[in-house]
């Protein structure tokens, strides 16, 4: 078997017969302005390929029939060697599929020899294959590499070795050149192979020798108007190219790569494409550096990551969260990432997943990441942001389990991750410390002293350990002699530091108080906070959490808050910042339902988005981003609760909102039918909106309105509100119309995308109306609704896109008047 395999690996065309086919033929490799290399086909054919463990083979003779056809320039697929190339590949794919985690090293080596020979034969024969047959060969190569990567345990060895063969034999040069082909099928097939073989070494080769060509192909493929197979390949290539260097990332961004990823994440519903988009943004966050981070902020990446992190697919969620955690670790853009609200999705994801199970859930991370990739994750682990720490620690648990099986845990010491993990494992960040401890156990490392998140319960020894972590161990004797425990630590001020601890250096005191402030924000006060005061302060802003313990020590709880004055907050609670006192008092008024002078609750939220999690979460998250980018203050609950577990704070948020956008996707109101006990949260949100003068704007997508009589009487009026029909391919036009609704600019004659009917006069958006009839226009289904019948009861509607009437083409596709 081994001998036969070596024979297959060595069969190819001789130098003399290739030279006779076309004397003096030259190959030009354009390398993005780096180099221009010319060589005879003869030298290309005689080049050696490097296979697994150094196996090499020179070109050997082929059949006389092939050589005569080559000489006449009329090679056909009937050539025995080319037919064997394709037929044998299909036959050997079965051998590849038989490999498993239990396969022996000999079986893996034999399979590798077969396919290195096949790849070498393709490269040497490439110029002699008719162009119409090349895509078939490329598809075979792509299938082989794809299956090789997916083999448990041995996949990394097989996949990377086959990718090395393509690079060493000139295969990458062929693929790079084909990326500029006018034959779109050839371009796509070449790009598909590239997407499978962009290992670290191959990425470097392409960055030096063909980045422009490959980027061009990626942009063409990632166009969402093309077949979904194209977008998968295009975004897959961009995902890998963002995993090279800062300079490469900058070139990819400059040539439109980042815009392509953002566009695909907005308009494409294909899960695999969105996985590539999410991973691409995570890679760019890790490899891009500060300048490219700024470019990401300019493109509002932090906002567009929200729908990805809100997705139902765990892999899309995870890498979007990783991108967010990496970006927020950069102090220069921390505020912008905070404002997006997407960071609130990180910790809920981590709490719902087990690192070991998640690492085995997808081929994307089943083999683990490279040393270079992991080294770039260490600064995220060292960040002061708890979300960044937690997610980085989670990932190191995954990697520790994978590297443990590969007997390669020493990699973590080489990149400096062990000491960082020990620091996090002993920190009061409950989520991050738990995962860091798990990672250290898998690395067989000693666990450090663990600090509880319950800081008020700390012992003196815990305080000393914390001093060591923050770099103030020199003062440990003074703290020990004063018997400073967690309770006293939380009450320290600068005067005490001077008089009792002897910290005379003003800059040192500022540093210490900064670290103490971070500790107060991270602490868990549940052991002494029985009225959830901590949560109230957290809802105002993270900087307010530091006042939890001073308020509690002054005897304040959530019920007492509404009676406090500014003077009491200053003198009795020690809140010296007057702006913070004002914020607390204003939020107390708003959250206790105290009316303003005209008798109404303050409307400090522009839009509250109500949606059904099972079918409407993606559209709701998309709307949030669109509206926030247009300057609206938007509230969306990111942790929808089951019936019977409703959070009454949400009702208060509805009352504080000027508008409620009711996202109606398939079956959204089914649970409301017969809900006489008000257990359904959409039912309760609609009733709260109706009773608080909150303008309701239904937004429908693939939705069937029930009969009004089927709904509870207290929400029945929602059936008569004007609304917007969502068309996924025309997001901007839909949001523009929605914006006009919110601003009160849209009238009945403006062409509302939805049910907008009235008898006896004009009404403003949000006014209950009787259903009637309007002019009829056709519309396309959204991507999420393709294949379904039009489901809104009133199919009569009119559509304007940017003020222009669209022309309806075949299959209901819109084309706008120029």
Task: Tell me the catalytic residues.
Answer: 685
Three-state secondary structure call for residue 337: helix
Sheet holding 634-636, edge to edge: 634-636, 605-610, 657-664, 695-700, 724-725
Q: State the residue for tokens 């079965």.
A: 94
Three-state secondary structure call for residue 660: strand
Q: State the residue for tokens 């600064």.
A: 379
d(CA 484, CA 492): 9
Nearest residue to 738 (alpha-carbon basis) of 781, 695, 786, 702:
695
- Cα angle, residue 16 at apex, residues 12 and 22 outer, rounded to 5°: 95
DSSP state of 151: S
Nearest residue to 386 (alpha-carbon basis) of 496, 285, 518, 510:
518
In DSSP terms, which residues pair with 663 in a beta bridge? 699
The string of DSSP letters for 84-128 reads HHHHHHHHHHHHHHH--TT--HHHHHHHHHHHHHHHHHHHHHGGG
In DSSP terms, which residues pair with 808 in a beta bridge? 814
Q: State the residue for tokens 């059936």.
A: 719
Angle between helices 386-405 and 430-442 (to 10 degrees): 20
- At 789, phi and psi to the nearest 5? -80, 155
> What is the token pair recorded at 384?
């002061």
The CA–CA distances, whole Å, from 793 to 272, 631, 751, 754 equal 34, 33, 18, 11
Q: Are 682 and 668 in contact (CB under 8 A)?
A: yes
| DSSP element (H, E) containing 40 | strand 36-40
| DSSP element (H, E) containing 254 | helix 246-254
d(CA 90, CA 86): 7
> What is the token pair recorded at 466?
């914390």
Angle between helices 211-221 and 228-241 (to 10 degrees): 140
Nearest residue to 179 (alpha-carbon basis) of 202, 195, 167, 203:
195
d(CA 192, CA 380): 33
d(CA 259, CA 293): 14
> What is the token pair recorded at 603?
């409307």
> What is the token pair recorded at 786?
């393709």
Nearest residue to 148 (alpha-carbon basis) of 158, 138, 163:
158
> What is the token pair recorded at 432?
């991050």
The CA–CA distances, whole Å, from 190 to 184, 196, 234, 451, 774 equal 10, 10, 11, 54, 51
d(CA 545, CA 537): 6
> What is the token pair recorded at 271?
């899960």
**Burial tier of 107 (Cβ tally within 10 Å: 0-12, 13-18, 19+):** middle
d(CA 128, CA 125): 5
| DSSP element (H, E) containing 269 | none
Q: Are 607 and 658 in contact (CB under 8 A)?
A: yes
> What is the token pair recorded at 320?
């979007």
The CA–CA distances, whole Å, from 258 to 147, 202, 286, 304, 326 equal 29, 21, 14, 12, 17
> What is the token pair recorded at 177?
């050149």
> What is the token pair recorded at 728?
């996924």
> What is the token pair recorded at 311?
């997705």
């Amino acid at each position: 078997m081994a001998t036969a395999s070596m024979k297959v690996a060595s069969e190819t065309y001789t130098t003399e017969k290739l030279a006779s086919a076309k004397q003096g033929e030259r190959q030009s490799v354009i390398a993005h302005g780096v180099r221009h290399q010319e060589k005879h086909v003869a030298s290309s054919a005689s080049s050696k390929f490097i296979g697994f463990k150094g196996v090499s083979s020179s070109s050997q003779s082929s059949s006389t029939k092939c050589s005569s056809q080559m000489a006449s320039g009329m090679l056909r697929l009937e050539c025995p060697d080319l037919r064997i190339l394709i037929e044998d590949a299909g036959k050997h794919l079965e051998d590849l599929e038989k490999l498993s985690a239990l396969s022996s090293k000999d079986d893996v080596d034999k399979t590798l020899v077969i396919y290195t020979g096949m790849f070498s034969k393709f490269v040497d024969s490439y110029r002699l294959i008719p162009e119409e047959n090349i895509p078939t060969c490329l598809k075979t190569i792509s299938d082989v590499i794809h299956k090789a990567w997916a083999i448990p345990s041995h996949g990394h060895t097989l996949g990377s070795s086959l990718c090395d063969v393509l690079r060493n034999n000139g295969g990458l040069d062929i693929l790079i050149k084909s990326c500029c082909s006018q034959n779109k099928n050839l371009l796509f097939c070449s790009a598909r192979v590239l997407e499978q073989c962009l290992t670290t070494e191959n990425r470097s080769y392409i960055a030096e020798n063909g980045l422009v060509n490959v980027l061009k192909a990626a942009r063409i493929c990632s166009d969402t108007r093309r077949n979904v197979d194209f977008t998968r390949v295009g975004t897959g290539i961009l995902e890998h190219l963002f995993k090279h260097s800062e300079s490469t990332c900058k070139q990819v961004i400059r040539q439109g790569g980042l815009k392509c990823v953002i566009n695909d994440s907005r308009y494409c519903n294909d899960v695999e494409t969105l996985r590539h988009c999410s991973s691409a943004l995570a890679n760019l966050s890790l490899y891009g550096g500060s300048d490219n981070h700024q470019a990401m902020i300019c493109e509002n990446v932090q906002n567009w990551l929200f729908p990805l992190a809100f997705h139902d697919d765990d892999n899309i969620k995870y890498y979007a969260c990783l991108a967010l955690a990496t970006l927020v670790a950069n102090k220069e853009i921390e505020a912008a990432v905070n404002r997006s609200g997407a960071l609130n999705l990180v910790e809920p994801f981590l709490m719902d997943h087990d690192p070991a199970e998640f690492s085995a859930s997808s081929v994307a991370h089943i083999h683990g990441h490279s040393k270079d990739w992991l080294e770039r994750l260490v600064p995220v682990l060292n960040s002061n942001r708890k979300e960044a720490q937690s997610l980085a620690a989670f990932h190191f648990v995954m990697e520790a389990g994978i590297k443990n099986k590969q007997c390669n845990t020493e990699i973590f010491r080489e990149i400096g991750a062990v000491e960082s993990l020990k620091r996090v494992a002993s920190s009061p960040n409950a989520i991050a410390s738990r995962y860091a401890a798990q990672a250290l156990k898998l690395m067989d490392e000693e666990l450090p002293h663990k600090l509880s998140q319950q800081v008020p319960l700390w012992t003196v020894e815990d305080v000393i350990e914390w001093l060591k972590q923050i770099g103030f161990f020199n003062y440990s004797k003074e703290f020990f002699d004063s018997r400073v425990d967690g309770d006293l630590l939380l009450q320290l001020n600068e005067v005490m530091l001077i008089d009792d601890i002897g910290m005379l250096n003003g800059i040192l005191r500022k540093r210490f108080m900064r670290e103490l402030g971070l500790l107060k924000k991270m602490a868990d006060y549940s052991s002494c906070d029985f009225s959830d005061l901590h949560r109230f302060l957290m809802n105002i802003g993270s900087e307010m959490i530091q006042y939890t313990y001073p308020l509690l020590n002054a005897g304040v709880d959530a019920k007492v808050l509404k009676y406090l004055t500014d003077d009491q907050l200053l003198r009795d609670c020690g809140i010296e910042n007057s702006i913070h006192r004002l914020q607390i008092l204003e939020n107390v008024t708003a959250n206790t339902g105290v009316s303003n002078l005209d008798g109404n609750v303050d409307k400090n939220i522009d839009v509250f988005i109500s949606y059904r999690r099972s079918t409407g979460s993606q559209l709701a998250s998309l709307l949030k981003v669109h509206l926030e980018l247009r300057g609206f203050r938007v509230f969306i609950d990111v942790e929808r609760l089951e019936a019977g577990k409703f959070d009454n704070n949400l009702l208060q948020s509805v009352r504080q909102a000027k508008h409620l956008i009711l996202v109606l996707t398939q079956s959204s109101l089914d649970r409301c039918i017969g809900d006489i006990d008000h257990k359904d949260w959409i039912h309760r949100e609609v009733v709260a909106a109706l009773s608080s003068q909150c303008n309701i704007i239904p937004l429908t997508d693939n939705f069937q309105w029930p009969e009004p009589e089927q709904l509870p009487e207290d929400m029945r009026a929602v059936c008569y509100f004007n609304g917007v029909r969502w068309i996924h391919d025309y997001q901007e036009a839909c949001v523009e119309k929605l914006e006009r609704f919110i601003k009160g600019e849209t009238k009945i004659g403006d062409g509302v995308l939805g049910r907008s009917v009235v008898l006896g006069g004009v009404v403003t958006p949000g006014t209950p109306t009787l259903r009637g009839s309007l002019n009829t226009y056709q519309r396309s289904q959204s991507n999420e609704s393709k294949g379904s019948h039009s489901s809104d009861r009133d199919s009569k509607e009119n559509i304007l896109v940017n003020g222009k009437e669209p022309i309806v083409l075949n299959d209901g596709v819109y084309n706008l008047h120029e």
